[in-house]
Amino acid sequence: MTSSEGARARSASPAVPASAPASAPASVSASVSVADLGLVDGLAQLTFLVHGALAEIAARQDLSMIQVRLLGVLRDREPAMRELGRLLGLDKSSVTGLVDRAQRRGLVVREASATDRRSYRVSATPAGRELAERVAAEFAERIDAFAAGLTGDERRLLAGLAARVVAADAHRRGVDLRTGGS
């Protein structure tokens, strides 16, 4: 079997992790646990699980994933457009288009900054906040269900490790997670 045939065979069978060697028999994969996948594969699997749940919730609310992220950011702050771009990892034109579309839906407002006339601050409207809270509550329920098999200590450990990874990435990008600025 060539390596490309092995890759196709593995992708056709969800029971065989992508990291399994091409020659691994299917019976071996049944005994492979998520813990055996290693950091990269384990985080990838977790990412797919979490992203899939959020995408499902977003679709039910007729939101794109980036719109969900926008509303999430605006739940607890009113950043300037530039700060919003840094928080979302988007360039200026992408942020402008995103905010324009959300504003047309009545989810956000953009107002001139009181301190810098060249800058605009973005905030969620009451409808945007209510939608963000609904999405967040449903997402929290899904995450709680995913973590149902973890003890309280394991949940706290996972939350702490996730926070450290996110903070390290924000630091690398020069983003202050408390304000969105640098």
Q: Summarize pLDDT for 57-112 with one digit per residue, the tens.
A: 999 999 999 999 999 999 989 999 999 998 899 999 999 999 999 999 999 999 99
Report the mean per-residue pLDDT for the chain: 82
Give residue 173's pLDDT band: very low, low, confident or very high (50, 70, 90).
confident
- Please indicate, yes or no, if residue 13 is contained in any of the structural domains: no
12 within some domain: no
174, pLDDT greater than 70: yes
82 in a domain, yes or no?
A: yes
Q: Which domain holds residue 81?
A: 37-147
Q: 108-112 and 120-124: which strand pairing? A: antiparallel
CA distance 173 to 182: 9
Q: Considering the domain boundaries, does residue 175 fall inside one?
A: no
Q: What is the CATH number of the domain that holds 138?
A: 1.10.10.10
Provide the domain count of the chain: 1
**What's the pTM value of the predicted model, to 2 decimals?**
0.70
In the prediction, which pLDDT does 24 show?
A: 39
Tell me whether residue 2 is in a domain: no
Is residue 37 pLDDT above 80, yes or no?
A: no
> Burial, 59: exposed, middle or buried (Cβ in 10 Å; 0-12, 13-18, 19+)?
exposed
In a domain, 110, yes or no: yes
Name the band, by pLDDT with cuts 50, 70 and 90, for residue 182: low
For 12-125, where are the E strands, in sequence order? 108-112, 120-124
Q: Is 17 a residue whose pLDDT tops 60?
A: no
The answer on pLDDT for 40 being more than 90 is no
Report which of residues 172 and 23 the model is more confident about: 172
Assigned domain for 99 exists:
yes
- Confidence tier at 34 by pLDDT (50, 70, 90): low
In the chain, what percentage of residues exceed pLDDT 90? 62
CA distances from 42 to 35, 38, 135 (A): 7, 6, 26
Identify whether 159 is part of a domain. no
pLDDT grade, residue 8 (50/70/90)? very low
